[in-house]
Structure 1
Amino acid sequence: MTDRTTAARGDTRKAGFDRRLVPPMMLGSVLNPINSTIVAVALVPIGAAFGAPPSQTAWLVSALYLATALGQPIVGRLIDIFGPRRLFLLSTSLVGVAGVVGTLAPDLGVLIAARVLLGFGTCAGYPAAMALLRSEAERTGQDSPAGVLTALAVANQTIAVIGPLLGGLLIGLGGWRSTFALNIPLAAVAVALGMLRLPKQPTMDAAARSRPAATIDLPGMGLFAAMLISLLLFLMNLHAGSWYLLVITIAAGAAFTVRELRAGTPFIDLRVLGGNIPLLATYGRALVAYVVSYAFLYGFTQWTEEGYGLSPLHAGLVQIPMFLVGIAVSVTVGRRNGVLGKLLFGAVGQIAACVLMLTLTADSPVWMLVALAVVFGVPQGSNSLALQNSVYFQADPERIGSSAGLLRTFAYLGSMIASSATAASFGRHASTSGMHHLAWIMLGAGVLYLLVSVFDRSLRRLSADPAEATGKA
């Protein structure tokens, strides 16, 4: 973790959170959700440009999540060791490179490679933001203000919601390649803000520099990568012929467990994590919540274009109410103590939205699509804030970066399941019957999310402490 001296930051700022950190924190953390969601309305135009069906363009979604799910906890652990600045600057620079590659891509394969680069490039933003929040809490002797935690959640869920609209506008102005070109100026601004405002590491002698390097568990990271990649590839190819991937996942998982239990400084401390049942439950909730969220984002958006007949721009416009409701919900629930109420509010919103989705047909009036977007704004605004706050207070402070990265990893596992479910439900065409099949899967995940939240007693204890619940000292 970065060790900033009082002189480096100034005595006048010692008593409170350094607000100069907020812009790079926000921009870095939204690079991933903006690239996750902006492609939703670009899948159909890209498929038309390269003659690829939805089952192939789904790799544009899966490739980014495969890279990010792997990279987030690894980069998060490196941030825990070396501090956020170096990893932030390196990763955001890679986002700009990916933007160039995607803009000039001659075929779908190169475009998928650009999405992989984007996945790795956006790995540092969120763990770095959480690490900065924790280091500021240590520097000031106070927990980070609830407003900063809320703003971080609002920024992420806002971008996630307006991504399709922004994508539709960009496609209307410059074609689908403009959705990749957007990353070039975003990366430039992020790198500039990072260089100007993120704290530098103190100068260390050779002996001090060697100690952090010794704590990097490369074998553990390698086994984790093998386990996660084989699992995600299995989830993206759910058929009998891919059984060997599940075998590899189990074997790599067993080896990873043995390694981490024996390592002096493990990549993921399984003893501590295994004893932290509330944190494990939060990761489980994140997985099922994002199955629902991303199945709606990609599946419903594709159906509005192919099954309902809207243009990419109009498909994005339909989701404006979700953006407005999501912001209002986040700001409102962010002022309240605890996380249980936020989780239950989001769970009910998910279930209601899935039921409404089952009633839609190609002949439904547009206002019903808008109504569905309004209802989906409730879980968009409530779930992400509740999950983020849960991790902030449940995780080991010394491993906040890797813990935040693991939250995103479980979210991306959910997105992978959602992507596979969307591809399996639609096949070569996003039909109404396929959309209904997807809605039933989403409804099952939504009910599971509700049950996991209702029966988790640790949430009541967390909610009982106003200081922890609001993030105030």
Structure 2
Amino acid sequence: MSGDASGTAPARVAVPREPAAESAGGFATRLTAPLLLGSLLNPLNTTMISTALVAIGHTYGIGAADTAWLISVLYLASAVAQPVLGKLADALGPRRVFLAGLVVVCASGVVGAVAPGFGWLIVSRLLLGIGTSAAYPAAMAVLRDEGRRVGRRPPRPVMARLSFAALGSAAVGPTLGGLLVTVVGWRGIFAVNIPVAAVAFGCALAWIPADPPRTTSSEEPSPKLALDPLGIGLFSTALTVLVFFLLDLAHPMWWLLGPFAVLTAGLLWWQLRCRTPFIDVRMLAGNGPLARTYLRHGLGYLLIYCVMYGFTQWLEEGRGYSSGHTGLLMLPMSVAALVCSLLGARTKGIRAPLIVACVLLTAGAGLLTVVSGHTPLVVLLIAGACFGIPQGLIGTSNQAAVQEYAPAADIGAAAGLQRTAQYIGAITASSLIALAYGQRADDGGLHLMAGASVVLGVLLVIVTVTDRALRRAGR
């Protein structure tokens, strides 16, 4: 990856037109259907479990601080696996990586559905994070290969459907999770991945063309040698140490900050010297607009996931609603997110939707600081909607910002880092929830979490409003 020190949008590189008379259209429904089905699994599972955490805790006699690991382990695995599997898709072929990921998803579903203890659920979520992380980067690579075959770029509607599959599945996750917990129990949250992954596997096997030969030029290193295993190891180890520290903020293990600092320094040192770094530090340092996009994305989803997990737990334990009722109460949030993701995709500008989203996130967090067990139901629905609208706008707007500011030749890696920023925000959210709630989600814990979210929301508004690059974006 190479950055643009000026921070301006780099020129777009046209997709080379290769001779291909086999298909004038390409991108048929049969090609995109398994890609969409596989790509929705990761975002769906990130939010679907939110309405099952209390039930899982009751089954194994543990509190919110322990069940938070089910959130963090998936994000930890995904934060590392997404860019790694994207590079593997380039080196080995996207169809192979896509199919292998679905096999791992099926295995995770079996482990979770029959788990005899809580530790097995952790293993299931770890496998799920790795398996589902293959779908999105592999799908992008499949579409790239199809574009080369037919001699044109993937059409915007195809790319929009891929984005909508991710945003939409994440938005409906809490409602679907509540339904599954009510009908079949919390194990259904894990088991539902088996048939979905099996159908996607069968469709991919039948409809996605075989991978074209992976060739490299003499001037470029072989993709098989460009994975930067040392960088991956340093990044994943540093992130794991940070997660261990964050998940017990009530009794912080300060000594962990020492190894984290050493690992982070080692990662930066190596990334500056590696020819094909896992994270291109030079590019990020020289591209301020892109770096600020990652910061906005991580902060935005930190606040969104505080509600996705923290608010839903409070509705069950603090307000006394069942998992099914909680899922229904989150439905306005899901609908608002779906509608606004479509509206955000149609908006030419970036700055205005982001400002609206940031202001609503802050207002929604402020509203949660005053709710209690006696708050009218309509207020709870409004609070959920205040977070649903930003969920739709932030995802599409920051995706457009990445396309605007990232080097054209490295858009895939840049998109992977955007997902990593989102996962780090989610990990931090689960840590904040664990600190606020401890063993039970009560009014005091909700108000503590919401108060911290207000402070972060104000910071997010400032970062967005003062970003001059956003005023030029989308014009």
Q: Give 3-state SS (helix, strand or coil) of 1:90's partner.
A: helix
Q: Give CA-to-partner distance per residue, 1:403-439, whole Å, 9 cap, x none.
A: 2222111111111111111111111111111111111
Task: State the partner residue of 1:452.
Answer: 463
Q: Does residue 247 in structure 1 map to residue 295 in structure 2?
A: no
The Cα of 1:311 is off from its aligned counterpart by: 0.3
Task: State the partner residue of 1:441.
Answer: 452
Identical columns (%): 41
Task: State the partner residue of 2:6.
Answer: none
CA contact 1:257–1:270 (8 Å) conserved in 2: yes
Q: How many residues align?
A: 460
CA contact 1:134–1:397 (8 Å) conserved in 2: no
Tell me which protein shows more helix as a share of its residues.
Answer: 1
Q: Does residue 360 in structure 1 map to residue 371 in structure 2?
A: yes
The Cα of 1:317 is off from its aligned counterpart by: 0.2
TM-score (norm 2): 0.90
Q: Which shows bigger deviation, 444-453 or 172-181?
A: 444-453
CA contact 1:149–1:389 (8 Å) conserved in 2: no
Using a 3 Å threshold, how does the CA distance of structure 1 residues 294 and 4 change in structure 2: closer, same or farther? farther
The Cα of 1:283 is off from its aligned counterpart by: 0.8
Q: Give CA-to-partner distance per residue, 1:62-119, whole Å, 9 cap, x none.
A: 1111111121222223234444222211112101100000001001011111111111
Q: Does residue 185 in structure 1 map to residue 195 in structure 2?
A: yes
**CA–CA distance in structure 2, aligned partners of residues 459 and 141 of structure 1:** 33
Q: Does residue 268 in structure 1 map to residue 292 in structure 2?
A: no
Q: Does residue 325 in structure 1 map to residue 346 in structure 2?
A: no
CA contact 1:236–1:420 (8 Å) conserved in 2: yes
The Cα of 1:168 is off from its aligned counterpart by: 1.4
CA contact 2:344–2:397 (8 Å) conserved in 1: no
**CA–CA distance in structure 1, aligned partners of residues 143 and 93 of structure 2:** 12
Task: State the partner residue of 1:67.
Answer: 77
**CA–CA distance in structure 1, aligned partners of residues 268 and 93 of structure 2:** 26
The Cα of 1:315 is off from its aligned counterpart by: 0.2
Q: How does 1:76-95 map to 2 (within 5 A)?
A: 76-95=86-105
Using a 3 Å threshold, how does the CA distance of structure 1 residues 143 and 75 change in structure 2: closer, same or farther? same
Q: Give 3-state SS (helix, strand or coil) of 2:473's partner.
A: helix
- Candidates 113, 116, 136, aligned match of 1:126: 136
**CA–CA distance in structure 2, aligned partners of residues 20 and 389 of structure 1:** 27
Q: Which amino acid aligns with 2:357?
A: G
**CA–CA distance in structure 1, aligned partners of residues 248 and 217 of structure 2:** 48
CA contact 2:19–2:151 (8 Å) conserved in 1: no
Q: Which shows bigger deviation, 50-59 or 84-93?
A: 84-93
TM-score (norm 1): 0.90
The Cα of 1:6 is off from its aligned counterpart by: 5.0
Q: Give CA-to-partner distance per residue, 1:417-465, whole Å, 9 cap, x none.
A: 111111111111111111111111111222222111112222222222x
- Candidates 25, 36, 46, aligned match of 1:13: 25
Using a 3 Å threshold, how does the CA distance of structure 1 residues 399 and 311 change in structure 2: closer, same or farther? same
- Candidates 98, 104, 112, aligned match of 2:108: 98
Task: State the partner residue of 2:351.
Answer: 340
Q: Give 3-state SS (helix, strand or coil) of 2:356's partner.
A: helix
CA contact 2:306–2:433 (8 Å) conserved in 1: yes
Q: Which shows bigger deviation, 397-406 or 300-309?
A: 397-406
**CA–CA distance in structure 1, aligned partners of residues 278 and 247 of structure 2:** 26
Q: Does residue 463 in structure 1 map to residue 466 in structure 2?
A: no
Cα RMSD after superposing both structures: 2.6
CA contact 2:43–2:166 (8 Å) conserved in 1: yes
**CA–CA distance in structure 2, aligned partners of residues 124 and 200 of structure 1:** 17
- Candidates 411, 415, 419, aligned match of 1:400: 411
Q: Does residue 114 in structure 1 map to residue 131 in structure 2?
A: no
Using a 3 Å threshold, how does the CA distance of structure 1 residues 144 and 426 change in structure 2: closer, same or farther? same
CA contact 1:161–1:319 (8 Å) conserved in 2: no
Q: Give CA-to-partner distance per residue, 1:181-206, whole Å, 9 cap, x none.
A: 00101111222233233343323689
Q: Give 3-state SS (helix, strand or coil) of 1:202's partner.
A: coil
**CA–CA distance in structure 2, aligned partners of residues 4 and 166 of structure 1:** 43
Q: Give CA-to-partner distance per residue, 1:139-192, whole Å, 9 cap, x none.
A: 667665443444333322222221111111111221111111001011112222
**CA–CA distance in structure 2, aligned partners of residues 210 and 275 of structure 1:** 24
- Candidates 20, 23, 26, aligned match of 2:36: 26
Task: State the partner residue of 2:361.
Answer: 350
Task: State the partner residue of 1:50.
Answer: 60
CA contact 2:340–2:389 (8 Å) conserved in 1: yes
Q: Give CA-to-partner distance per residue, 1:364-402, whole Å, 9 cap, x none.
A: 121221122222221011011112222233323443333
CA contact 1:77–1:399 (8 Å) conserved in 2: no
Q: Which amino acid aligns with 1:10?
A: E
CA contact 2:167–2:392 (8 Å) conserved in 1: yes
Q: Which amino acid aligns with 2:211?
A: Q
**CA–CA distance in structure 1, aligned partners of residues 252 and 368 of structure 2:** 32
Q: How does 1:380-399 map to 2 (within 5 A)?
A: 380-399=391-410
Using a 3 Å threshold, how does the CA distance of structure 1 residues 72 and 3 change in structure 2: closer, same or farther? farther
**CA–CA distance in structure 1, aligned partners of residues 235 and 60 of structure 2:** 34
Q: Which amino acid aligns with 2:25?
A: R
**CA–CA distance in structure 2, aligned partners of residues 80 and 460 of structure 1:** 35
Q: Which amino acid aligns with 2:202?
A: A
Q: Which shows bigger deviation, 317-326 or 197-206?
A: 197-206
Q: Give CA-to-partner distance per residue, 1:309-334, whole Å, 9 cap, x none.
A: 10000000001111222222222232
Q: Give 3-state SS (helix, strand or coil) of 2:24's partner.
A: helix
CA contact 1:58–1:419 (8 Å) conserved in 2: yes
Task: State the partner residue of 1:215.
Answer: 226
Segments of structure 2 that go 5 or more residues without pairing to the other structure are 1-14
The Cα of 1:47 is off from its aligned counterpart by: 0.9
**CA–CA distance in structure 2, aligned partners of residues 290 and 399 of structure 1:** 24
Q: Which shows bigger deviation, 19-28 or 110-119?
A: 19-28
Q: Which shows bigger deviation, 206-215 or 116-125?
A: 206-215
**CA–CA distance in structure 1, aligned partners of residues 222 and 322 of structure 2:** 56
The Cα of 1:35 is off from its aligned counterpart by: 1.0
**CA–CA distance in structure 2, aligned partners of residues 394 and 132 of structure 1:** 23
Q: Which amino acid aligns with 2:438?
A: G
Q: Which amino acid aligns with 1:339?
A: I
**CA–CA distance in structure 2, aligned partners of residues 241 and 360 of structure 1:** 29
**CA–CA distance in structure 2, aligned partners of residues 390 and 193 of structure 1:** 33
**CA–CA distance in structure 1, aligned partners of residues 254 and 96 of structure 2:** 40
**CA–CA distance in structure 1, aligned partners of residues 195 and 245 of structure 2:** 35
**CA–CA distance in structure 2, aligned partners of residues 259 and 329 of structure 1:** 41
